[in-house]
Amino acid sequence: MPMGHTATAEAGSGGLTATEHRLANGLRVVLSEDHLTPVAAVCLWYDVGSRHEVPGRTGLAHLFEHLMFQGSKQVQGNGHFELVQGAGGSLNGTTSFERTNYFETMPTHQLELALWLEADRMGSLLAALDDESMENQRDVVKNERRQRYDNVPYGTAFEKLTALAYPEGHPYHHTPIGSMADLDAATLEDARNFFRTYYAPNNAVLSVVGDIDPETTLAWVEKYFGSIPGHDGKPAPRSGDLPEVIGEQLREVVEEEVPARALMAAYRLPHDGTRACDAADLALTVLGGGESSRLHNRLVRRDRTAVAAGFGMLRLAGAPSLGWLDVKTSGGVEVPQIEAAVDEELARFAAEGPTPEEMERAQAQLEREWLDRLGTVAGRADELCRFAVLFGDPQLALTAVDRVLAITADEVRDVAAATLRPDNRAVLVYEPLATEQSENADGDDEEEGADQ
C-alpha cells in the first residue's frame, strides 16, 4: 500500500493544497483537489534531461520522449494519442535540460484511463520498442531539428548561445534537441539502456490535479503503478556548477539569411530555487519584460533603432540560470549602436535599481504569471512536479508567489550589478547575408526555449 502522507495549506497559497504519498517502489505521488471544473490533469516528471546524456549520444532524452508515444505492451502504435483524444482529453510531452515530462488533461470520468496509459508505458515500453519505431522517431526528431533550428531565421541562436555560455564538457553545453550526428549514431540498445536507467518509478513524480477523489485516485495509482519495479542503477548527473561570473565577454558573429540584424546575449544568473534567482527575474522583467520595460522604451519607442527588444530568463536548478537578451534592429541600424544603448541602460539600472513604480509593476507581472499557471489544473500539476523533482518539495509551488513579492528593490539592484555586466555574457551578433538589409515588418520577437 502507499507509504507516507502529508497535507499542507500553506499561508499565501490561495487556499490551494496538495497531499504527498510514496509507493513502495519509490514513485512519488502528489494530489491536489480542485472541483471548479469537471477535469483532471495527470503530469509525470522523470528526473532525466539532456544534462544526463554522455558525449556522442546527445539528443537521446528528447528522442526517447518521442519513443514513449510509439506504443507499449497493451497500447500499440499511435494508440496513446487515439485513446486520450477519443476520450475528450489532450496530451503531450516535453524535454528540457533537467527533466522529461508527460501530461494529459482529461474529463474527470476518464482519469483512470490516463493513469493506466502512463503506467503501461512506464512498465512495458520495452515490449514494443523495436527497430521500426526507433527509425521512425529518429526521422521525426531530425525533421523537427530542421524545422525549428536549422532552417528558420535565428533558429540556431539558442544552441549557439548555450554552447558559448557553458564551456565544452559542461552538461548544459548542448541543448536537448541534440546533433544530427549523435541522432544518427543512437542505437536501439542505447534506447533500451536509457529506458532501464531512467524510466523507473523511483526516478519519477506523478501529480494528479483537479476534480478528483484522492482516495480513489490513490487506489488507481497503486493498482496500475504499484507493481512496476524500481531501478537503482541511475548515475548521478555531472556537476553543472560554474563561477558566478564568466569573467570575459564571449562573442560570435553569425552571417545568415535573416530579415534583420540582431543582438542576442546570455548572462549567467543565480540558480533556480534561490532568492537571488527571483530577484534576477524581477530585474529582467523591469528591463525587458514587455512594452513597458526600459529596453523597449529606449530602443523601440525613443531611439527607434529596434523593432523588438526583450529580456527573458531560463531558470535552471543544476547550473547557473541564463538571462536571455534579444534585440532585432530596425532598418540599417548597426549592432554596435544597439549594444552601446543596452549597456548604458544596464549600467544605469545597476547603479540606481528599479523605481517603486517599476518594482510594483514587475512584481504584479510575475504574480499574474504564477497565478495563471497555478490557476489551471495542468499548470498546477506541472509546477507540483517541478518543485518535487528539482527541489524535493512540491509544496514550494504553492508559495512561489509569496517569495517573489518578498524581494526588495535593493536585492534587484544588487543582482543586476553583480551579473548584468559585459564580462558576464555570451554574445551572438546576426548579420544578414544580403547586401541590402530587409526590415522586419511585423516586429515579432521569437525567443528560443529549452523545451523541445
Residues with catalytic roles: 65
Residue type, 56: G
Distance, first Cα to last Cα, the chain: 36
Which candidate, 37, 145, 32, 22, places its Cα nearest to that of 88?
Answer: 37
Q: Alpha-carbon distance 395 to 399, whole Å?
A: 7
Q: For the CA atoms of the chain, what is the radius of gyration?
A: 23
Sheet with strand 100-107: strands edge to edge: 3-8, 18-22, 28-33, 204-210, 39-46, 100-107, 90-95
Residue 35 near residue 214 (C-beta atoms within 8 A): no
Q: How far is CA 319 from CA 9, 14, 79, 242, 268, in A?
A: 31, 31, 37, 7, 9
Q: Which residues contact 64 (CB under 8 A, 6 or more apart)?
A: 100, 191, 194, 195, 199
Q: Alpha-carbon distance 386 to 44, whole Å?
A: 10
Give me the DSSP letters along 419-439.
Answer: HSSTTEEEEEEEEESSSSPPP
What 3-state class would DSSP assign to 312? strand
Residue 398 near residue 30 (C-beta atoms within 8 A): no
